[in-house]
Structure 1
Amino acid sequence: MDIFHINSTQVTQLLDPAAIPAEHGFLWLDVTQEEVGADLGAWRDAVARITGVQIYDPHLTDAINPAHPSYFDSTQDYAMVVFRKLALDPANGNTEPAESRDDRRKVPPALSKLVTKPVTFMLMENALVTVHAPNSRTIDITRQRLLEYRRREGNGHAGRPPSSPTELMLRMLNAMVDQYLDLRQPLTSQIDRWQRALLDPRSPFSDWVALLDARIELRKLDHLCEGQRDAMQELRDYIVDTQDENNRGTDLMLVRVNDVMEHITRVLNHAQRLEGTIESAVQIHFSAMAHRTSEIMRTLTVITALFMPLTLITGIFGMNFAQMPLLQDRSGFWITMGIMGVVVVVLLFLFRRKRYLEDRGRGR
């Protein structure tokens, strides 16, 4: 477990939990799920000694559950937020276990990044506890920025360290949501490629399994964002109920929460639009296939209609009668062929007049 002491002037990593500074500030306790799961009781007692807050057993179980959805809960001493963040793609350095990777569907690279892992925040009055999977990029970047912080004159609001555990948590949540925002462009590009492939008449579309998997992943992203938004709404209500409404710090926290919720809503709306785009493209594809089939059937029908009277004529002259008109005539064959040709020309004229045959060249 890593312990950081954060105040308005500096950020210090504490190697000895007993050497907690007495000056103003707050603590950040960062730990992985494996460390907590190794001995739940010992870790809970260690947090109680450092922060003076006893964490309940059900919350400890939730913190180490890798399948826990986004969630918010609060007690008299602390509040707990579970937020599912994006995990790195295996090709980009993800350390996801091999057994879980083998069970995943084969989806395009842009959609394979929708693997998520939970991060648990336990928000206390003077401390923030984070429980996460190993190699969390957002947590590592936050730690690096805090440890590299040096207060400079005129650096402005953006360069200052967080003033409270709530602000630190919201900064990390905002960074996690921004990862979802970065997915919008590759997801849109992938869907656009599928749209062109679905509507290309020169080559049949065959990647139906990947398309179905993409729709499943987008639906999963939809449900994921809804859970995240509900958790953030509960957190916002908690801040409003527990903090002073006339405090400038409370206003800043509410602004940050609203910003995170707005980003989540943008991701949710984009996922819903992409899902609707896939469904529309599939419907247009099958409509185009039905139209093409109708064109083929119409052509075959016209050909059949042209040969029906010709078949009738040949059937009549194929009867076994001794005496038939034109049968003994030397020009009977050519007269019959001429009649058949006239019948074809008349039928073509009628079909064209009735618009049974489209002039596609004129349309182009």
Structure 2
Amino acid sequence: MSETPLAEPSPPVPFRVFHVQPGAPAHELFELPTAAPAAGFFWVACTRAFLGDHLQRVQSTLQAVTGQQLVDLHVSDLLNAQLPSHYDYTSHYDLLVFRRLVGSGRPRPNGAVDAPPGPAAADGDKPSASTPAPALRRIRTGAVGFAVFDQLLFSVHPDECTVREAYAARLLALNTATAGSPAAETASIPQETAQRDQRAGLLTAARMPTSPADIMLRVVNLIVDGYLDLRRELSRQLDHWQVELLRPRARAINWTALLESRLALHQLDEICEDQRTAVQDWIDAIEGWPQPATPAGLREIELLKVRSRDVLEHIERVVHHVRRLEQSAETAVQMHFSLQSNRTNDIMRTLTALTAVFLPLNLIAGIFGMNFEFIPFVHLKAGFWWALGTMLCIALALTLFFWRKRYLARTGQG
């Protein structure tokens, strides 16, 4: 009986093109555009490999649609997967690079998270203190680049970018959403994003994006949501680390894994700091844009500012939470060593008390062990029993004295 071969994963889509018109359904095109749209704007989302292999084709498309091409340095930034989050601009377009979570941390359909193979994977959400937490081991990021033109958004993603596919599916789903059914419109929106969009006065599923910058901010929203989800997992797993560290008899603690976890938190802090700086620079750039002459244009600019500030606030929440986790981990380590020090002190106190109990007994045994011919009780028939009884009484008296002084009592952490 032959086994059915497993289906190989489908190769990533090299590029996706959408024609977006406010107030009208979005359409996906299957070829790169060759001219500027009569209404609305284009969203061209390609993979980094596609940009590297078809750079001239992409530049020709940008020239045909916007009348401008990407600067060579910005092309290098978009092709660099290790570039930190940052913002730059020219007189014709704005460039934003934003790092997102990638790799083994991608959620599976059942809600679990893929973890690298190892002992921790078998323990589920409760890794032991001898193995690094899965969420801490999976903080791997990749750069997503956005070039924002007046009538085109050009974005560059990793080869398997779930963020691109997630927002593309949502954008196409707006075509079939019922305008009079808010519940149906918001059913597929994550809670964090829905609340953010409501505060911004722009419910994502209620209206189409109004500009390339609007789409860019909505995609950035999804990226930030991934860090918010990671924040919850880090809290749960760091709580378990603290419980393990505060166990007074914990012995199988892998300090290398703990150090790697703390380094991962430092890395996440640096990533979020770069993101915050990039978004703040973007907000400062929006403040310098010329004021539109129409009320609709003014409202669009205000909504972009509100959405941008809200994204910045969520990044700051992640930064604050990560730093609190770092402090909690440091405090747990210090408390662990404090507990171990107290336990060592208890042991040394007990040993000292026992030594004090046997010290007079050793003195008596040493006296009667001297090589003198005439020693009291040596030649008595009951001398041995008198000496033994005296030593026993001294031992009991000292033991009772130390017990009342609590030198032999165990503390709560012992």
Letter in 2 for 1:215: R
CA contact (8 A) 2:34 2:64 kept: no
Q: Which residue of 1 aligns with 2:139?
A: 114
Q: How far off its partner does 1:107 sit?
A: 4.1
Q: Which residues in structure 2 correspond to 1:1-20 (within 5 Å)?
A: 1-8=15-22, 9-17=24-32, 20=35
CA contact (8 A) 1:12 1:147 kept: yes
Residues 356 and 15 from structure 1, CA distance in 2 versus in 1: closer, same or farther, beyond 3 angstroms? closer
Q: How far off its partner does 1:173 sit?
A: 0.4
In the alignment, structure 1 residue 142 sits paired with structure 2 residue 193: no
In the alignment, structure 1 residue 54 sits paired with structure 2 residue 63: no
Q: How far off its partner does 1:17 sit?
A: 4.2
In the alignment, structure 1 residue 357 sits paired with structure 2 residue 407: yes
Gapped regions of structure 1 (runs ≥ 5):
94-100
Letter in 2 for 1:301: T
Could you say what secondary structure the match of 2:291 adopts? coil
Q: Which residue of 2 aligns with 1:96?
A: none
Letter in 2 for 1:294: N
Gapped regions of structure 2 (runs ≥ 5):
1-14, 109-115, 118-130, 183-201
CA-to-partner distance for each residue in 1:238-285, whole Å, 9 max, x for gaps? 111114288111111111001111111111111111111111111111
Return the alpha-carbon distance in structure 1 between the equivalents of residues 106 and 181 of structure 2.
Answer: 37
Match 2:100 to one of 75, 85, 88: 85
Letter in 2 for 1:188: S
CA-to-partner distance for each residue in 1:287-329, whole Å, 9 max, x for gaps? 1111111111111111111111111111111111111111111
Q: Which segment drifts farther, 18-27 or 316-325?
A: 18-27
Could you say what secondary structure the match of 2:288 adopts? helix
In the alignment, structure 1 residue 181 sits paired with structure 2 residue 228: yes
Match 1:310 to one of 361, 373, 379: 361
Match 2:152 to one of 97, 117, 127: 127
CA contact (8 A) 2:17 2:45 kept: yes
CA-to-partner distance for each residue in 1:210-234, whole Å, 9 max, x for gaps? 2111111111000000000000000
Q: Which segment drifts farther, 274-283 or 73-82?
A: 274-283
In the alignment, structure 1 residue 34 sits paired with structure 2 residue 49: yes
Q: How far off its partner does 1:206 sit?
A: 2.2
- Output the TM-score relative to the length of structure 2: 0.79
In the alignment, structure 1 residue 170 sits paired with structure 2 residue 217: yes
Q: How far off its partner does 1:351 sit?
A: 2.9
CA-to-partner distance for each residue in 1:67-95, whole Å, 9 max, x for gaps? 000010011011100000111426757xx
Q: Which residue of 1 aligns with 2:188?
A: none
Q: Which residue of 1 aligns with 2:264?
A: 217
CA contact (8 A) 2:94 2:149 kept: yes
Q: How far off its partner does 1:39 sit?
A: 4.0
Q: Which residues in structure 2 correspond to 1:62-81 (within 5 Å)?
A: 62-81=77-96
Match 1:190 to one of 224, 237, 253: 237
CA contact (8 A) 2:36 2:151 kept: no
Q: Which residue of 1 aligns with 2:347?
A: 296
Q: Which segment drifts farther, 230-239 or 14-23?
A: 14-23
Return the alpha-carbon distance in structure 2 between the equivalents of residues 248 and 363 of structure 1.
Answer: 62
In the alignment, structure 1 residue 278 sits paired with structure 2 residue 334: no
Q: How many residues align?
A: 354
CA contact (8 A) 2:85 2:274 kept: yes
Q: Which residue of 2 aligns with 1:98?
A: none
Residues 117 and 336 from structure 1, CA distance in 2 versus in 1: closer, same or farther, beyond 3 angstroms? same
Q: How far off its partner does 1:184 sit?
A: 2.1
Q: Which segment drifts farther, 171-180 or 303-312?
A: 303-312
In the alignment, structure 1 residue 235 sits paired with structure 2 residue 286: no
RMSD: 2.6
CA contact (8 A) 2:36 2:64 kept: no
Q: Which residue of 2 aligns with 1:331?
A: 382
Could you say what secondary structure the match of 1:73 adopts? strand
Letter in 1 for 2:137: S
CA contact (8 A) 2:150 2:212 kept: yes
Could you say what secondary structure the match of 1:183 adopts? helix
Q: How far off its partner does 1:22 sit?
A: 4.6
Return the alpha-carbon distance in structure 1 between the equivalents of residues 413 and 247 of structure 2.
Answer: 20
Residues 22 and 71 from structure 1, CA distance in 2 versus in 1: closer, same or farther, beyond 3 angstroms? closer
CA-to-partner distance for each residue in 1:169-221, whole Å, 9 max, x for gaps? 10010111001101122211211111111122344132222211111111100
Q: Which residue of 2 aligns with 1:208?
A: 255
- Output the TM-score relative to the length of structure 1: 0.89
CA contact (8 A) 1:81 1:121 kept: yes
Q: Which residue of 2 aligns with 1:23?
A: 38
Q: How far off its partner does 1:352 sit?
A: 4.2
Q: Which segment drifts farther, 235-244 or 155-164?
A: 155-164
Return the alpha-carbon distance in structure 1 between the equivalents of residues 106 and 40 of structure 2.
Answer: 40
Residues 205 and 282 from structure 1, CA distance in 2 versus in 1: closer, same or farther, beyond 3 angstroms? farther
CA-to-partner distance for each residue in 1:115-161, whole Å, 9 max, x for gaps? 11100000111211101111211111111222233275446753211
CA contact (8 A) 2:36 2:66 kept: no
Residues 16 and 334 from structure 1, CA distance in 2 versus in 1: closer, same or farther, beyond 3 angstroms? closer
Return the alpha-carbon distance in structure 2 between the equivalents of residues 113 and 361 of structure 1.
Answer: 40
Q: How far off its partner does 1:334 sit?
A: 1.7
Percent of residue pairs bearing the same amino acid type: 37
Q: Which residue of 2 aligns with 1:252?
A: 303
Return the alpha-carbon distance in structure 1 between the equivalents of residues 46 and 174 of structure 2.
Answer: 21
